């Protein structure tokens, strides 16, 4: 029975994953004014045509000063596309139109276009960036998800490996059931917050289905669904009468929940062929066993009974085998992300990682104290040993929370790898040209079939040009049929600006007249048609001043 239930739920997961991989069918058929146009006078509206009816979720028109000139009720969508009414008396300069709509099949569609009145603006003003609020709310939800997942899956591992006394087995199952419910609630919450992080905007967008659709369509959405399936299985296996089938159901749920770590995140995309996933799953599984064992151990000490000391000793023997593998897998993951020791101090990712290392060091210190002193004292029935061990375990639990918070923060912070499928950090360069200093942002992007050196000049708000040099993995010039550039700023609600690149030589491409209206962190996506049948994409973040 349990196997049939598991098979049905796994099939449901596969169907959900297949549904989540669908792409939006609504595409832009034309715009008025055209993207990049310089108009003699102000238009009365912006019209964006689609190949099917769409529903408007959110739109904005940022003026030269960075302020939204679109009235609250100035946008409407219908059979003939999206209409954005503009007020009279618009000032000269460049305007950035950004929109989010939903197509007939329920998928979110976002885009941007730029037009100028009279002449292009040389600069713009800072606008409010709401990405930080979404980011840290998402981090908080992930911490709760980790606590629930580790508590549920780790509790199952504790019951199987440590074999607590029979009276405490039901206590372990109750702890796992409660942890699974916490994880399920946190996963649902994180899905909405992920959608808000992707789309940007005020908190009220959580009431909009498109925000949740955006969260579900992301790689995190797939991982969250997997985690929810696993947690539901753990909860079901923990709530029914304890039988071999119930234990199998809970164990299967723990495996499925832990597998979610291999579906999303920086490490998953860091290497070819999924080679980085095994150390990630090993690290996550052993961490879950450690974290998920702490509360059951504390409960065992709170109810003194014959055999409590042997139970603690069994856990200690299991942990001493797991910790070296846990640390080795963690070192491998850190090396994959950082590569350069200097990046530990010079990047946000490195500093968060250092904080996590310090916290883990303190946790290891407590674990060593337990192993070498407090557990042997408990076995010798020294008075007060159980109480001291209990306080040490409480201290471990207190350290686990900031460790998981650092882990969640790392998941939302770009890692400083030298060559990334997600792109290398952009560097600012300056040189003299015709007696003037000219600056540009340079960055390296890579995919399986190409390495791209990209330069954005001058790298400031206003008009910019982008130069692209493509090489194959051996460093030779790479000629390809087509290159497309996309630039977006989710924190400021600007959907991708799409520009086809023009070929200027062997392996060389250029995009001219790219107007960036606001400063801040932009995401650059390079779409390369490497052959008539294969398209590859690489992305990176860069800072525009």
C-alpha 244/C-alpha 114 separation (Å) is 63
Digit-coded pLDDT (tens) for 206-239 = 888 878 887 887 778 889 999 999 999 999 998 8
Q: Are 155 and 180 spatial neighbours (Cβ–Cβ below 8 Å)?
A: no
Strand partners, 55: 102
**CATH classification (class only), 427-544:** mainly beta
Within the chain, all domains assigned CATH 2.60.40.1220 are found at: 28-117
Between vectors from CA 34 to CA 119 and to CA 438, what angle results, nearest 5°? 45
Per mean pLDDT, which range of 172-181, 214-223, 247-256, 413-422 is the poorest? 413-422
Q: Which structure tokens are listed for 68?
A: 């939204």
Nearest to 370, CA basis, from 453, 445, 297, 459: 297
Q: Are 132 and 412 spatial neighbours (Cβ–Cβ below 8 Å)?
A: no
Within the chain, all domains assigned CATH 2.60.40.1930 are found at: 427-544
Strand partners, 62: 68, 96
C-alpha 119/C-alpha 93 separation (Å) is 6
C-alpha 234/C-alpha 253 separation (Å) is 5
How far out from the chain centre does Cα 31 lie? Answer: 32
Report the share of the chain in percent with pLDDT over 70: 84
C-alpha 302/C-alpha 312 separation (Å) is 12
Is the pTM for the entire model greater than 0.75? no
Average pLDDT, the chain: 80
Q: Is the pLDDT of residue 3 over 60?
A: no
Q: Are 71 and 85 spatial neighbours (Cβ–Cβ below 8 Å)?
A: yes
C-alpha 287/C-alpha 127 separation (Å) is 41
Higher pLDDT, 204 or 230: 230
Higher pLDDT, 333 or 131: 333
Q: Is the pLDDT of residue 150 over 80?
A: yes
E runs forming strands in 434-517:
436-446, 451-457, 462-471, 482-489, 494-500, 502-505, 508-516
Nearest to 47, CA basis, from 63, 29, 62, 65: 29
Highest mean pLDDT: which of 41-45, 63-67, 153-157, 464-468?
A: 153-157
Biggest CA–CA distance in the chain, Å, is 90
What fold, for 28-117? Answer: Immunoglobulin-like (2.60.40)
Within the chain, all domains assigned CATH 1.20.1630 are found at: 131-410
Mean pLDDT, residues 426-446 taken together: 53
Q: Is the pLDDT of residue 242 over 80?
A: no
Mean pLDDT, residues 276-284 taken together: 89
* CA torsion, ordered 360, 194, 97, 51, to nearest 10 deg: 140
- Segments in 41-165 forming alpha helices (H): 131-161
Digit-coded pLDDT (tens) for 484-513 = 998 888 777 777 888 888 888 888 888 887
Q: Is the pLDDT of residue 429 over 60?
A: no
Q: Quick check: bond before 33 cis, omega within 30?
A: yes
C-alpha 496/C-alpha 493 separation (Å) is 10
3-state SS of 83-95 is: EEECCCCCCCEEE
Per mean pLDDT, which range of 21-30, 82-91, 289-298 is the poorest? 21-30
The reported pLDDT for the residue numbered 416 is 65
CATH number of 131-410: 1.20.1630
C-alpha 82/C-alpha 382 separation (Å) is 77
Q: Which structure tokens are listed for 334?
A: 């850190």
Digit-coded pLDDT (tens) for 7-20 = 444 444 344 444 34
Strand partners, 467: 455, 510
């Amino acid at each position: 029975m349990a196997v049939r239930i598991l098979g049905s739920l796994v099939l449901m997961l596969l169907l959900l994953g297949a549904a989540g991989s669908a792409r939006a069918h609504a595409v832009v058929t034309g715009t008025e004014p055209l993207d990049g146009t310089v108009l003699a006078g102000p238009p009365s509206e912006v019209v964006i045509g689609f190949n099917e009816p769409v529903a408007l979720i959110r739109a904005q028109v940022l003026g030269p000063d960075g302020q939204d000139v679109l009235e609250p009720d100035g946008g409407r969508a219908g059979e003939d596309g999206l209409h954005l009414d503009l007020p009279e008396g618009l000032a000269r300069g460049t305007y950035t139109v950004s929109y989010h709509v939903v197509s007939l099949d329920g998928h979110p569609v976002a885009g941007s276009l730029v037009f100028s009145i009279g002449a292009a603006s040389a600069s713009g003003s800072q606008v409010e960036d709401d990405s930080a609020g979404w980011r840290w709310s998402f981090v908080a939800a992930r911490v709760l998800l980790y606590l629930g997942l580790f508590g549920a899956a780790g509790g199952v591992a504790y019951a199987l490996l440590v074999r607590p006394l029979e009276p405490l087995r039901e206590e372990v199952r109750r702890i796992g059931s409660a942890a699974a419910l916490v994880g399920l609630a946190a996963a649902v919450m994180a899905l909405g917050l992920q959608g808000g992080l992707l789309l940007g905007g005020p908190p009220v967008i959580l009431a909009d289905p498109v925000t949740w659709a955006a969260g579900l369509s992301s790689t995190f959405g797939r991982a969250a669904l997997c985690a929810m399936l696993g947690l539901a299985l753990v909860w079901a296996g923990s709530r029914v009468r304890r039988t071999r089938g119930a234990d199998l159901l809970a164990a299967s749920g723990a495996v499925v929940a832990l597998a979610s770590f291999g579906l999303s995140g920086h490490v998953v995309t860091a290497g070819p062929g999924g080679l980085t996933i095994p150390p990630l799953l090993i690290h996550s599984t052993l961490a879950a066993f450690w974290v998920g064992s702490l509360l059951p151990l504390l409960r065992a000490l709170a109810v003194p009974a014959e055999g409590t000391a042997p139970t603690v000793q069994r856990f200690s023997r299991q942990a001493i085998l797991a910790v070296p593998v846990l640390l080795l897998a963690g070192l491998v993951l850190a090396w994959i992300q950082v590569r350069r020791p200097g990046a530990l101090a010079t990047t946000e990712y490195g500093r968060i990682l250092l904080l996590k290392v310090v916290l883990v060091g303190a946790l290891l210190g407590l674990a060593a104290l337990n192993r070498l002193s407090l557990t042997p004292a408990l076995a010798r029935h020294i008075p007060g040993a159980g109480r001291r061990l209990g306080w040490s375990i409480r201290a471990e639990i207190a350290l686990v929370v900031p460790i998981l918070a650092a882990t969640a923060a790392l998941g939302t912070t770009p890692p400083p790898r030298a060559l990334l499928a997600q792109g290398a950090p952009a560097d600012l360069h300056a040189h003299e040209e015709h007696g003037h200093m000219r600056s540009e942002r340079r960055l390296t992007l890579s995919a399986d079939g190409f390495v791209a050196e990209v330069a954005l000049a001058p790298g400031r708000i206003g008009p910019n040009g982008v130069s692209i040099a493509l090489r194959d993995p051996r460093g030779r010039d790479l000629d390809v049929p087509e290159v497309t550039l996309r630039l977006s700023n989710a924190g400021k609600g600007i959907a991708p600006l799409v520009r086809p690149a023009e070929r200027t030589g062997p392996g060389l491409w250029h995009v001219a007249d790219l107007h960036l209206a606001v400063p801040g962190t932009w995401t650059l996506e390079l779409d390369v048609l490497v052959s008539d049948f294969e398209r590859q994409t690489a992305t990176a973040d860069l800072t525009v001043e």
